Amino acid sequence: TRNGEFTSTYGDVQHYFETRMVRFTKNSALVLIRDISEQKQANAKVFRLAFYDTLTGLPNRQSFLTRLSEAIRDAEVCKKMLSILYLDLDNFKRINDSLGHSLGDELLKTISTRIEKCVRGDDYVARFGRSQSALQLARLGGDEFTILIQDLESIDEVREVAARITGAVSEPILIDGKEFVITPSIGIANYPEDGTDIDSLVMNADTAMY
């Protein structure tokens, strides 16, 4: 008996199929094919809800902590540095309290897009010769974000990212004819000098941010 899966695209829609091949007679086999597209879509939706933020589409806290755990393990084996940046938007609660959460959500989406462009900018990636997978942005919740940077050669790389983010986030944002200027506070913790486990790194980055 052989089991497998394959995909096939019709128009713009990708379908998933499960196959099961069993011996039928001495010289033939029976192949059973079942469309499992709905099951795959449901699984993907559950995965996104578990590991991605619904407002911004960024990885969430659970996804970040999982990735950080893997990154620490890799850094320990390869004797490499890594850093996490803990970012909080200054006085953001005042906007939600005075102007409502709908406007606050629009600001958060704009800011998350700006941060993502800083972290994944082609010029930054090319300049330091790293892959996109070595940088991960996540939204922890509320107005808190984290950035994980792996395979560091120098702390200057981290300062570069922090400076780019500060400049981008601080640019005025225009929504419904109103101009907003949001400034970030950023704390940095480096592995291994500021901690060798998840809890100590996150706590020290959070403390540095304050």
Q: Which residues are catalytic?
A: 143
User: Is the link from the previous residue into 172 a cis peptide, with omega within 30 of 0?
Assistant: no
Q: Which amino acid is at 62?
A: Q
Which residues fall within 8 angstroms of residue 51, CB to CB, at 6 or more apart? 59, 60, 62, 63, 66
Which residues fall within 8 angstroms of residue 118, CB to CB, at 6 or more apart? 124, 161, 164, 165, 168
Nearest Cα neighbor of 83 from 94, 65, 71, 66 is 71
What phi-psi label fits residue 141: left (phi over 0), alpha (psi between -120 and 50 degrees) or beta?
Answer: left
Q: What is the dihedral of CA 102, 103, 106, 110, to 10 degrees?
A: -160
Question: CA geometry: angle at 186 spanning 140 and 88, to 5°?
Answer: 40
CA distance 140 to 91: 17
Q: What is the dihedral of CA 79, 120, 87, 107, to 10 degrees?
A: -170
